[in-house]
């Protein structure tokens, strides 16, 4: 297991949300053909499909505020990352979100193997 799992996961989170908030299309480099994203229950596989989903989201401005980051090592030198935070889009109210990543090492870099995103919706 990778002893640097916590710093790898936290650095990834900082990079990912900065890139997402500034230019979602640049996130394609973080995914591979076998990468899978489940976004609000809908599955997308591969960099093109994942980024197409992200850039088609119906807002112009977005800002993520990360509340917690929890990281664990995986047996194959990967990193499991769970993020909880808040996001603000355009003029909409602030929403809570949860996102979980599995980062896999390809020998020289880490990429996103799995990505699961959910808004945290409070029912009245």
Contact by Cβ (8 Å): 16, 27: yes
Contact by Cβ (8 Å): 86, 63: no
Whole-number pLDDT of residue 20: 97
Q: What is the C-alpha end-to-end distance of the chain, expressed in Å?
A: 43
Whole-number pLDDT of residue 3: 86
Query: Residue 27 half-sphere exposure, CB side, CA atoms within 13 Å?
Result: 28
Which domains, from first to last, does the chain contain? 5-120 (3.10.450.50)
Contact by Cβ (8 Å): 66, 83: yes
What's the pLDDT band for 2 if we cut at 50, 70, 90? Answer: confident
| 122: pLDDT strictly greater than 80 | no
């Amino acid at each position: 297991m990778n002893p640097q799992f916590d710093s790898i996961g936290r650095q990834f989170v900082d990079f990912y949300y900065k890139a997402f908030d500034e230019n979602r299309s640049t996130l394609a480099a973080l995914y591979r053909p076998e990468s899978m994203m489940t976004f609000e229950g809908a599955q997308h596989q591969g960099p093109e499909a994942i980024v197409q989903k992200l850039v088609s989201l119906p807002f112009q401005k977005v800002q993520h505020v990360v509340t917690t980051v929890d990281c664990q090592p995986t047996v194959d030198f990967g990193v499991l990352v769970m993020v909880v935070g808040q996001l603000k889009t355009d003029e909409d109210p602030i929403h809570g979100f949860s996102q979980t990543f599995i980062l896999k090492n390809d020998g020289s870099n880490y990429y996103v193997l799995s990505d699961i995103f959910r808004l945290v919706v409070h029912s009245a």
